[in-house]
Amino acid sequence: MVSLFALFSINTIVLYIYLKYIISARQHKVDNFKPLRLTHKAIWSSLEHSRHAESTQQHQEITTLDEVDTALDHLIQLVIRDFIQSWFQKIAAQEQSFSISVNHIIRSAAVQVNKRLQQIDLLHVLLNRVMPKVTSHISDFRAAEISLRGKYLERSVTESDELDLLLASQFRQGRLHAALTTGAVTTKPTEIAYLRQLMDRVLPLIFNQKDTSSSLVHVVIREVVSCSILQPIMDMLADPDFWNQTIDTYVSHQMFILHT
């Protein structure tokens, strides 16, 4: 009987504490909840005005050439359509301010890139930096191919992913670019990791500080550019068939012009 009374007393005390200090505290917090600052009438009106001004803002010209600007406008529209609106519309289908902001940010970055290109001697870069690297790459690749297949390529081997890995291991004694590896057939993960590191260094140089001050914005821009834009472009440029078709199209076009 005593133990039953003690158990009843303990339960009563626990119930009292729960009602007094937990339920009452929760009710007190709900009653004292303050609305978010941005929902204040004056602040919300200011935000709406800023969004309207941003949506009606004229596009910034990237270059002084109309044809180049038209091509870049089309490219930016495709980037926003495929890499921004494709997922953002699932979150807010009627909201356009985010896409407009991204458009302005991309244009600002393109303007900065254009200004930097104007300060560079492209001919000097092409002749003294690009061409030596290209010729060195071709020479080293030829040496790796000879070491694997013989001086006159007399060893017959079957084209495969494993052969590519063997060839890569012979290229410059396995000292490959940071974006490449001989540890796996596909190099996409290492390529993306390298592009992310590259974009982390490049973004502060071409974007306004206020645009990338937010870590969320920085990550979104970095991921879109490195994973969805640059990596597919690198794959395209590394495909020999792309260059074959490009050269064939260009030569055919020039031959057509000569015969007309």
Residue ranges of the domains in the chain? 51-119, 121-175, 177-239
3-state SS string for 192-237: HHHHHHHHHHHHHHHCCHHHHCCHHHHHHHHHHHHHHHHHHHHHHH
CB atoms within 10 A of CB 206: 17
Mean pLDDT of 148-173: 73
Q: Are 69 and 114 in contact (CB under 8 A)?
A: no
pLDDT of 82 strictly over 90:
no
Mean pLDDT of 202-215: 79
Lowest-confidence segment of 21-25, 195-199, 231-235, 251-255 by average pLDDT? 21-25
The pLDDT confidence band at residue 102, using thresholds 50, 70 and 90, is confident
Instruction: Give me the pLDDT at residue 37, please.
Output: 62
pLDDT of 52 strictly over 70:
no
Distance CA(155)–CA(145), nearest Å, equals 10
Question: How many Cα neighbours within 13 Å face the side chain of 186?
Answer: 5
What is the pLDDT of the chain when averaged over all its residues? Answer: 77
Among 4-18, 40-54, 230-244, the range with the most confident prediction by mean pLDDT is 230-244
Q: Calculate what percentage of the chain has a pLDDT beyond 90.
A: 5
Q: Please work out, in degrees rounded to the nearest 5, the angle formed at the alpha carbon of residue 206 by the alpha carbons of 115 and 224.
A: 130
Q: Are 61 and 69 in contact (CB under 8 A)?
A: yes
pLDDT of 153 strictly over 70:
no
pLDDT of 8 strictly over 90:
no
3-state DSSP assignment of residue 57: coil
The pLDDT confidence band at residue 80, using thresholds 50, 70 and 90, is confident
Instruction: Give me the pLDDT at residue 197, please.
Output: 92
The burial class, CB within 10 Å (0-12 / 13-18 / 19+), for 148 is middle
Instruction: Give me the pLDDT at residue 254, please.
Output: 84
Mean pLDDT of 183-209: 85
Please state at what angle helix 97-118 crosses helix 188-206, rounded to 10 degrees.
Answer: 80
Distance between alpha carbon 6 and the CA centroid of its chain, in Å?
A: 66
pLDDT of 132 strictly over 90:
yes
Both tokens of 256, joined, read 């057509």
Instruction: Give me the pLDDT at residue 211, please.
Output: 72
Q: Calculate what percentage of the chain has a pLDDT beyond 70.
A: 73
Give the type of residue at 62.
I
- End-to-end C-alpha distance for the chain, whole angstroms: 114
Q: Are 229 and 102 in contact (CB under 8 A)?
A: no
Distance CA(94)–CA(60), nearest Å, equals 24
Distance CA(237)–CA(175), nearest Å, equals 21
pLDDT of 2 strictly over 50:
no
